[in-house]
A = this chain, B = another copy of it.
Amino acid sequence: MEDDFSTTTVSAGQLRAIVERIETLEAEKAEVSEQIKEVYAEAKGNGFDAATLRKIVALRKKRPEERSEEEAMLELYMNALGMIA
Interface residues of A (CB under 8 A from B): 8-12, 14-16, 18-19, 21-23, 25-26, 28-29, 32-33, 35-36, 39-40, 42-43, 46, 48-49, 51-53, 55-57, 59-60, 64, 67, 70, 72-74, 76-78, 80-81, 83, 85
Contact = CB atoms under 8 A, between A and B. Distances in A.
B53 A12 contact: no
A26 B42 CA distance: 16
**Copy count, this protein chain:** 4
B19 A53 contact: yes
Given A29-B29, A77-B15, A22 B39 contact: yes
A36 B46 contact: no
Contact of A39 (B18, B35, B59): B18
